[in-house]
Amino acid sequence: MISFELTDSQLEVQRMARELTAKRIIPNIAEQDRAQEYNPQLIKDMAKADLLGFCLPEKYGGLGMDYISLGLASEELEYGDTSARVVLSVHIGLYCLPVCTWGNEAQKEKYLVPCAKGEKLATFGLTEPAAGSDAIGIQTTAVKKGDKYILNGEKMWISLADVADYFIVFAWHDLDKKKARDHSGLSAFIVEREFAGVTTSTIHGKLGVRAGNTGSIAFTDVEVPAENLVGNEGEGFKIAMFCLDQGRYTVAAGSTGLIKACRDACVKYSHERETFGTPIANHQLVKQMIANMEAGYEFSRLLWLKAGWKKNLGEPNTRETSMAKWIACREAEKAAAEAVQVHGAYGFSDEYPVERFYRNSKGASIYEGTREVHTLMQADYVLGLRKDKPLRVHLPIVEQG
């Protein structure tokens, strides 16, 4: 039975995230974005609010919340700023849920529990300077020598690169398969920042998400213990795609929150601003733009809720998650552009938040699979040219209680 009512526990997560956003993000974000400064206090605030592991099983230090709760928190945090939602995307979506699903018990105890408790921060390393959508185009290698893998390469555009404690990194363990572009030669590894040969640097001058830390990671003869291999050798590509499914879900929900922020900003401004002797809320074309935002918000939210519902049931949801990510990001871009238009010249300055919304909205149509990638995926599903194969492991099934 499908219900559109949120459960008490889901409402509580929503309340926690909304309260943190109102008290800790919105009051300071304009200044931090203007200064292009990452705020380390945000991580502490999120950990204190139990938002860094709330949808992970209790046995691994989480609160056992469901995946719709993860979407609700993502939506509320991005209402404040994209940089806050990004923390959930990479820490929970791209690292914790994959390690919880694909990792062995020893890895979960060592590398998942501290993250679920908010004691450690983690992120995901797939993208490289010359490899984005072409995931198997990565050049990083991990050659096994005895009981270690020797890791060499560079990752680029990595969120939290300078501040994360752990990274899930993808590399070629089989150099012959690398030459043949056979993805069965890719594997996944957990890498600690403290491993010798790991260095990171910050990327400056970003168009958006300026209050978030983004950087590159270099690996120079890094010795990674063999027990840090996630899953089996050769499962790296499958794990990477699984990671992206979880990340895309949070991006979809977060972009929905951005649409809502655009709508609310425009509603407030349109009642305050007058032209031709009347509030602009009375102008039909302003109403049209706000109506478009409302429509975009409603159907984007339904799409990510559908994906979350399937996640809760343990059902495959790559198709639904891709659709939710594609549409929500598209609608967020449209809403942000029209929000600037509603604000007129003021929308062109940082006196109002809509110019930040506009800049932030663009990135989501690129990361976690470009809009072009998702367009082709959806076409291939409809045409019968794509069919997802079952995975060896699945997300833990959770109760919506």
pLDDT in tens, 38-68: 999 999 999 999 999 999 999 999 999 999 9
Q: Hey, what are 90's tokens?
A: 């990479």
Q: Are residues 307 and 267 in the same domain?
A: yes
Answer with the one of 236, 269, 295 that is the final residue of a domain. 236
Q: Are residues 139 and 229 in the same domain?
A: yes
CATH of the domain at 25: 1.10.540.10
How many independent structural domains does the chain possess? 3
Interatomic CA distance for residues 80 and 139, integer angstroms: 36
Active site (annotated) includes residue 399: no
Q: Are residues 24 and 89 in the same domain?
A: yes
DSSP secondary structure letters along 218-253: EEEEEEEEGGGEESSTT-HHHHHHHHHHHHHHHHHH
Q: Are residues 37 and 129 in the same domain?
A: no
- Residue 400 confidence (pLDDT) above 70: no
Domain that holds residue 12: 8-121
On whether the CB atoms of residues 311 and 67 are closer than 8 A, the answer is yes
Phi/psi zone of residue 235: left (φ > 0), alpha (ψ -120 to 50 degrees), beta?
alpha
| Side chain identity, residue 186 | L
Answer with the one of 206, 236, 266 that is the final residue of a domain. 236
Q: Are residues 218 and 311 in the same domain?
A: no
Q: Which stretches of 49-161 are DSSP H helices?
A: 67-80, 82-88, 97-102, 105-107, 113-116
Q: Are residues 143 and 96 in the same domain?
A: no
Predicted confidence at residue 3, as pLDDT, reads 79
**Strand-pair partners of 217:** 155, 200
Answer with the one of 121, 149, 182 that is the final residue of a domain. 121
CATH of the domain at 352: 1.20.140.10
Rounded (10°) angle between helices 318-343 and 284-313: 160
CATH of the domain at 186: 2.40.110.10
Predicted confidence at residue 398, as pLDDT, reads 82
pTM: 0.97
89 in any annotated domain: yes
Q: Are residues 175 and 188 in the same domain?
A: yes
On whether the CB atoms of residues 28 and 19 are closer than 8 A, the answer is no
Q: Are residues 25 and 116 in the same domain?
A: yes
Query: Which residue out of 331, 368, 372, 399 is catalytically annotated?
Result: 368
pLDDT in tens, 90-126: 999 999 999 999 999 999 999 999 999 999 999 999 9
